[in-house]
Chains A and B, each alone.
Chain A
Amino acid sequence: MMEKANFSDYLNMNKGIKRDSPMPEIKVAFLSNFTINGLPEILKVKSHQESIWIDYYNAPYNQYIQEILNPASGLYKKEPDLIFLLLDVEPFLGEFFFFPYRYSIEQRKDLVKEKIKEIEDFLTILQERSKAKIVINEFLVPAYSSRGILESKQEYGLTESIHKINEQLRDICKNNGRLFTFPLNSFCSHQKSNPLSEPKIYYLTDMKFSTDGLIDLASEYLSYIYPLASKSKKCLVLDLDNTLWGGVVGEDGPEGLKLGPDKEGRPFLDFQKLLLDLFERGIILAINSKNNYEDAMEVIRNHKYMLLREDHFACIKINWQDKATNMKEIAKELEIGLDSLVFLDDDSTNQALIRELVPEVTVIDLPKDVSLYPSIIKNLKFFNLFHITPEDVKRGKMYVDQKKRSLLESEMKDLNTFIKQLQVKVMVRSADESTLDRITQLTQKTNQFNLTTKRYQEEEIYELFKSADHLIKSITVEDKFGDYGTTGVVIVKKDADKRCWHIDTFLLSCRVLGKTVEFALMEDLIKRAKMEGIENIKGHFIPTKKNKPAENFLEECGFVLSKEDDQIKEYTFDFSKEFKTRILVDVEEWKS
């Protein structure tokens, strides 16, 4: 294994890196009231290792206030996607930090309010003047007090005041999709080496963090970069022997495996608990193992302490073919990109094989010492998302449901019979505040069955939602195996004269295609238009590299090509025509 890079290694690496053409670019700004030199460079190098290009702006030393207040500052010129705000508590609180007990309790309470207001105002201005997501470090709670053991008894003492500020800061950020607090206090208490710089360095340079601390902080900050760059991972592919359990089932037998509440079994048990928790958060699990299928399944189905069972795995590859082939099959069967897979295997040969033959897959180096396995899972940063929608949470289970559907499909010869057997229900629901998140996400992520591929930001969807001349519908689909969640969006723009509807967006996640859901949806839309006395429906097809599956859809629904302009096709629906496609699913309006 490569020796861990140190601070100067990162600075040197930063000078040599170049942007490869497919790398997404994220613009990051750093604002602070102390020296953080090196942090942007390290984050840039670490991001580059994940194929993400960072273009950063490090505001001049201790000028965060000017940068925020001046609309023409370098900060705003950069138009950042992400802003990190790092404030050291000492200069932020000033005199109060050193002499808190010169102030009365009432004065201390007021001061806390004042300081919270100050930050809140900064955050408001930042949000108005940029479109960035903003990460603000919590304030570090000091260990020293002149009150000594009595500090914890002080009403609005220094410690309590800082805790209160942190708590209210978290409240401000909690319900705002653009604001995030970084848990600096827990970060500082969980690092192997002291993340704070030694006094000499602090006084000489005003660096609050040690060089190792800055490296660790950059690793944590990477968690915000992944989702911005759409590099978040979806699926964990797991080996079995010496990964999910200790020992080799083919040699040791199910009874001889290390897994359970005893000393040797606990690391594996804890490891599985963490994986199960990720599954419940929506991470898809899969198995890629060289084993006799029956031997391994015996453990998965019947071992007393096995937490991960057959129903947690969306894809199970237990066989003797090479793991690279298995890996490609897993991605194909789950219909997700190889680059959203993460591979966990104790065997370094298998790790090397996947790195060599399927380089898109992220391979994790499992340590020799199994007691470190749980910490490996805790340190995975690339599952982070800015929102977790109900669909995200269900994803792990939804892929397992899909496995069962495929099984039924392979048993059924006739497609129509198969679809009817599924008992698909489509629900069309008017958008409300609780579904706007998911609607936004779908407009950003849906590539294939998407007529216009218009990407919307949360704020834009909200504006459409508020406007009277737009109709936003979300589509929920379920069948007898389970819920697909919200998987489609229709946005219609109504003409002012109430004669014509324009289909602005019509998209469906590819998971629900092939069941006539799309036709049912269009029929529903046409029916509604008729009911409102609309004379015309116009739709567009805007071709992209990926939306071929939607190319002929409007025609299949009975729309007629009315204009073609620079590859953009405009279609019009003729109400004299019958809507012919056979629909095999039920559509109902959401009742709530």
Chain B
Amino acid sequence: MEKLTQLIARILNIDENSIHDASSPETISEWDSLNGILLVIELEKNFNVKFTMDEVMAVKNVSDIKAALKRYDVKAEVIG
């Protein structure tokens, strides 16, 4: 299982260290709508979860992703 920040860094093709809880489409230019959807697909695959449409719509930044994963009992150490 890939760690959350690794996964985001891979999909957005950016440096892992530049990803913080407050990172969002507003702060990371690579995070466009297509990459946003790719993030959803890859997160679901990697963490073996299925988000609802509402959950996807509610995500505004990295911290929201972490909260959503926690609801699905994904272990804190892989969320990071």
Taking beta carbons and an 8 Å cutoff, which residues of A are in contact with B?
7-8, 11-12, 15, 37-38, 199-201, 203-205, 207, 211
Contacts and interface: CB of A to CB of B under 8 A. Distances in A.
A552 to B, nearest CB: 59
A278 B13 CA distance: 43
B34 interface: yes
Contacts of B40: 200-201
Nearest to A7: B38
Contacts of A200: 40, 51-53, 56
7 smallest A-B Cβ distances: which pairs? A200-B53, A37-B34, A8-B11, A12-B13, A8-B38, A205-B37, A211-B41
Q: Which of B34, B40, B53, B56 has the most CB of A within 10 A?
A: B34
Interface in B27-76: 33-35, 37-38, 40-42, 51-53, 56-57
B10 interface: yes
B10 A204 contact: no
Nearest to A12: B13
B7 to A, nearest CB: 10
A7 B34 CA distance: 11
B37 A207 contact: yes
Interface string B2-29: 0000000011010000000000000000
27 contacts: A7-B38, A7-B41, A8-B11, A8-B13, A8-B35, A8-B38, A8-B42, A11-B13, A11-B35, A12-B13, A15-B13, A38-B34, A199-B53, A200-B40, A200-B51, A200-B52, A200-B53, A200-B56, A201-B37, A201-B40, A201-B41, A204-B53, A204-B57, A205-B33, A205-B37, A207-B37, A211-B38
A203 B53 contact: yes
A12 B57 CA distance: 25
A200 B57 CA distance: 10
Tier of interface size on chain B: 10 to 19
B38 A204 contact: no
**Centre residue among B37, B38, B51, B57 by max chain A CB count within 10 A:** B37
A192 to B, nearest CB: 16
Contacts of B42: 8
Contact of B37 (A12, A15, A204): A204
Nearest to B52: A200
B4 to A, nearest CB: 15
A200 B41 CA distance: 10
Given A11-B34, A200-B51, A205-B33, 13 more contacts: A8-B10, A8-B11, A8-B13, A8-B35, A8-B38, A15-B13, A38-B34, A200-B52, A200-B56, A201-B37, A203-B53, A204-B56, A207-B37
B38 to A, nearest CB: 5
A138 to B, nearest CB: 26
Nearest to A207: B37
Contacts of B51: 200
Contacts of A207: 37
A14 B41 CA distance: 20
Contacts of B37: 201, 204-205, 207
Nearest to B39: A8
Contacts of A199: 53
A232 B38 CA distance: 34
A15 B12 CA distance: 12
A205 B33 CA distance: 8
A465 B48 CA distance: 65
A481 to B, nearest CB: 59
Contacts of A201: 37, 40-41
Contacts of B56: 200, 204
A450 B80 CA distance: 69
A38 B36 CA distance: 13
A253 B18 CA distance: 65
B52 to A, nearest CB: 7
A153 to B, nearest CB: 36
